[in-house]
């Protein structure tokens, strides 16, 4: 019997996505073929292990699927090794920690309250519970990563691993500088490029692979694939811990990472998601993906300029990637209220702490705005003013339901110009 209840809910979600302005910086709209690969028979297959080395029979086809995903991903980032099995970015980071750290080892990452990520050492997360976490931040005046502070803490604490990457940082990273201090103290460098990976793939941001030993990413943000994670290296290396296999050989870092993903942390890989990752990586290798990312960057810069024009305070003054972080304190509205009010007008984004925030993470003083999803819908730089005008109208009339309702109608008719999944009913 058809599960009408559930499929009606999915229709409602499609309607919501079609009629709203999606500005959550970590979201995107995949192609229909990505969705089709994800909703495929590959979900039925158990395949613990890796292509050619599985613990189950009948894996000959999923072997080909997984190998295709690996080969395409390596090509996208000019990497020599990749693991496409992590179920998420958090799982990818977990596997790296499992492979490279012992419980209690020191790690150094960007503070969550300054734009970092939970898995980079937050006390609420496994990374802060199992390891001794230290944090660098951003400069109060410029909003840029405080590399002097990073270097100072690195030299003093000598962490086993330095983590770069963020979930709410609108500028590029100086990977070379981070590697230089890491080499001084013998630390590994992990770049978590979950957010800007698409721009990195398109060559529009600094390339972390030459300087960072290991790179992790999600696949569903700017990479525009299915929800999931990956781990990559451009240059494999002998593990720095001298771990030997039964024949007395030192295991390479790639072998340790593969073992950390399976059997270390996960069981059966999600081969249907890996199939969808293969599709997305194929799309990234098409020249149209670079054009998409150029539009992402243009849209973000134009949107940032429109916000600044209206007196909004952007952390670091602007953006070089796909997102911006806005401090709303001069607009007398909290991040929480901004998010909730914009939701009522079908403009979706998230509240976000800003550096040196005086409000709790549940309230926050800021909002994070990203353009990957609206750029996929087809919005161009000339549409950014309209989007910012609608956001501003809502925020400046946050207690006026009539105005909010009227913006909701404008949002709906505006977005109808940009069809989403027209093939779906």
Residue 348: CB minimum distance to ligand DSN, A: 12
Q: Which is nearer to ligand DSN, 26 or 364 (CB)?
A: 26
Query: Is the distance from CB of 278 to CB of 37 less than 8 angstroms?
Result: yes
Q: Which is nearer to ligand DSN, 256 or 323 (CB)?
A: 323
Residue 265: CB minimum distance to ligand DSN, A: 17
Locate 143 and state its tokens: 């909003």
Given the structure tokens 């100072």, which residue do they identify? Answer: 152
329 is a catalytic site residue: no
E strands along 119-195, which residues? 132-136, 161-164, 188-192
What pairs with residue 107 in β-bridges?
133, 161
Closest residue to ligand DSN in the complex (CB)? 26
The DSSP 8-state label assigned to residue 264 in this structure reads I
Residue 393: CB minimum distance to ligand DSN, A: 25
Cα separation, 204 vs 197, in Å, equals 10
Catalytic residue among 18, 171, 227, 368: 227
327 is a catalytic site residue: no
Residue 350: CB minimum distance to ligand DSN, A: 7
Catalytic residue among 221, 224, 277, 377: 221
Residues in contact with 375: Cβ distance below 8 Å, sequence separation at least 6, in sequence order: 292, 295, 296, 299
Task: Report cis status (omega within 30 of 0) of the bond before 263.
Answer: yes
Q: Which is nearer to ligand DSN, 114 or 187 (CB)?
A: 114
Backbone angles phi, psi at 422, to 5 degrees: -60, -20
Q: Which is nearer to ligand DSN, 74 or 322 (CB)?
A: 322
Cα separation, 12 vs 403, in Å, equals 24
Residues in contact with 199: Cβ distance below 8 Å, sequence separation at least 6, in sequence order: 205, 222, 293, 296, 297, 321, 322
221 is a catalytic site residue: yes
Q: Which is nearer to ligand DSN, 89 or 196 (CB)?
A: 89
Q: List Cα–Cα distances, 303 to 148, 248, 308, 383, in angstroms.
A: 31, 57, 9, 9
Q: List Cα–Cα distances, 267 to 61, 226, 259, 389, in angstroms.
A: 19, 19, 11, 48
Q: Which is nearer to ligand DSN, 42 or 197 (CB)?
A: 197
Residue 88: CB minimum distance to ligand DSN, A: 8
For ligand DSN, the binding residues (CB under 6 A) are 26, 89, 117, 167
If you write DSSP's letter for every residue of 50-103 in order, what string do you get? ETTEESSSS-HHHHHHHHHHHHHHHHHHT-SEEE---SSHHHHHHHHHHHH--T
Residue 364: CB minimum distance to ligand DSN, A: 13
Catalytic residue among 94, 119, 160, 218: 218
141 is a catalytic site residue: no
Catalytic residue among 19, 48, 139, 157: 48
Locate 301 and state its tokens: 């810069």
Q: Which is nearer to ligand DSN, 125 or 206 (CB)?
A: 125
Query: Is the distance from CB of 222 to CB of 296 less than 8 angstroms?
Result: yes
218 is a catalytic site residue: yes
Residue 147: CB minimum distance to ligand DSN, A: 23
Catalytic machinery residues: 46, 48, 192, 218, 221, 227
């Amino acid at each position: 019997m058809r599960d009408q209840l559930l499929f009606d809910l999915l229709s409602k979600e499609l309607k919501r996505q079609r009629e709203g302005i999606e500005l959550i910086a970590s979201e995107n709209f995949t192609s229909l073929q990505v969705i089709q690969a994800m909703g495929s028979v590959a979900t039925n297959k158990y395949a613990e292990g890796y292509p050619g080395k599985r613990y189950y029979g009948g894996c000959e086809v999923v072997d080909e699927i997984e190998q295709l995903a690996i080969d395409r991903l390596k090509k996208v980032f000019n990497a020599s090794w990749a693991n496409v099995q992590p179920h998420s970015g958090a799982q990818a980071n977990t596997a790296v920690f499992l492979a490279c750290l012992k419980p209690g080892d020191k790690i150094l990452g960007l503070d969550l309250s300054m734009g970092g990520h939970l898995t980079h050492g937050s006390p609420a997360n496994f990374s802060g519970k199992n390891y001794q976490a230290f944090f660098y931040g951003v400069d109060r005046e410029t909003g840029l990563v405080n590399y002097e502070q990073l270097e100072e803490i690195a030299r003093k604490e000598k962490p086993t691993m330095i983590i770069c990457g963020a979930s709410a940082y609108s500028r590029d990273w100086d990977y070379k500088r981070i590697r230089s201090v890491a080499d001084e103290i013998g630390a590994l460098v992990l770049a978590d490029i979950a957010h800007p990976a698409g721009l990195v793939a398109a060559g529009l941001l600094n390339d972390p692979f030459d300087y960072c030993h290991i790179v992790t990413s999600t696949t569903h943000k700017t990479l525009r694939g299915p929800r999931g994670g990956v781990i990559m290296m451009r240059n494999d290396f002998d593990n720095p811990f001298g771990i030997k296999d039964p024949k007395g050989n030192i295991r390479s870092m790639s072998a340790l990472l593969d073992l950390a993903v399976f059997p270390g942390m996960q069981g059966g890989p999600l081969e249907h998601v890996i199939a969808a990752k293969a599709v997305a990586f194929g799309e990234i290798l098409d020249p149209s993906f670079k054009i998409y990312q150029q539009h992402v960057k243009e849209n973000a810069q134009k949107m940032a300029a429109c916000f600044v024009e209206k007196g909004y305070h952007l952390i670091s003054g602007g953006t070089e990637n796909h997102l911006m972080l806005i401090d709303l304190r001069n607009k007398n509205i909290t991040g929480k209220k901004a998010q909730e009010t914009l939701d009522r007008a079908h403009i979706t984004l998230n509240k976000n702490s800003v550096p040196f925030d005086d409000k709790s993470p549940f309230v926050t003083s800021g909002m994070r705005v990203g353009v990957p999803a609206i750029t996929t819908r087809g919005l161009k730089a000339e549409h950014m003013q309209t989007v910012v005008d609608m956001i501003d109208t809502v925020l400046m009339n946050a207690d006026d339901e009539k105005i909010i309702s009227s913006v909701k109608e404008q949002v709906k008719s505006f977005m109808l110009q940009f069809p989403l999944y027209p093939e779906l009913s």
